[in-house]
């Protein structure tokens, strides 16, 4: 299942789209978990107990991956592109190497256990947890509506201010 959640521009953030994807039958020998954040400067992927930041330099001119097209089509594309945008020297971004930085917690650390310990400590102490109920509803509401959309075969709307379906 793939859900596309379009968030309009607000005073707090620019417009953005969240893509949620789930496969209930992963076919992997071990279940995987993760969230991938894709931005203009790279990709951050969270795993069950790790975070990876991958940076890929921007494509050099003409800015598109055209090498999958036949040679004649590539040459015609470049001819039209360079007639509109004169050729320039590569910039620093295009010359940077690919990088992958991975954070793996120390041996014995368990993010799932720490998450629950933080929550129980907040309840016992009567203080707010790191993620309050508003955070939870804002995260869970749209995600749960994807199931409604899937099973009822209809587009669903979510009002992030009122925190309710529309």
Structure confidence by residue, pLDDT tens digits, 14-56: 998 888 777 666 666 566 667 888 887 889 988 877 899 998 7
Q: Which two tokens stand for residue 112?
A: 């799932």
Q: Which two tokens stand for residue 159?
A: 């009002």
CA angle in degrees (0–180, nearest 5) for 40-43-47: 155
Please tell me the distance from the alpha carbon of residue 127 to that of residue 73, in angstroms, as a whole number.
63
- The share of the chain scoring above pLDDT 90, in percent, equals 17
Burial bucket for residue 142 (CB in 10 Å: 0-12, 13-18, 19+): buried
Tokens 């020998």, residue?
A: 29
Please tell me the distance from the alpha carbon of residue 121 to that of residue 129, in angstroms, as a whole number.
8
Instruction: Output the pTM of the full model.
Output: 0.55
Instruction: Give bridge partners of residue 99 from the DSSP assignment.
Output: 55
Please tell me the distance from the alpha carbon of residue 46 to that of residue 77, in angstroms, as a whole number.
38
């Amino acid at each position: 299942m793939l859900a596309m959640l379009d968030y309009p521009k607000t005073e707090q953030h620019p417009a953005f789209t969240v893509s949620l994807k789930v496969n209930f039958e992963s076919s992997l020998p071990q279940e995987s978990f993760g969230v991938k954040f894709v931005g203009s400067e790279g990709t951050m992927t969270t795993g069950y107990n790790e975070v990876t930041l991958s940076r890929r330099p921007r494509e050099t001119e003409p800015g598109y991956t055209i090498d999958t097209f036949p040679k004649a089509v590539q040459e015609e594309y470049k001819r039209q592109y360079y007639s509109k945008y004169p050729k320039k020297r590569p910039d620093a971004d295009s010359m940077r190497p690919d990088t992958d930085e991975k954070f793996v917690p120390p041996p014995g650390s368990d993010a799932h256990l720490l998450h629950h310990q933080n929550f129980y400590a907040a309840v016992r102490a009567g203080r707010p947890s790191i993620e309050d109920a508003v955070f939870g509803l804002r995260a869970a509401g749209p995600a749960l509506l994807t199931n409604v959309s899937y099973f009822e075969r209809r587009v669903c709307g979510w009002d992030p201010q009122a925190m309710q379906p529309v």
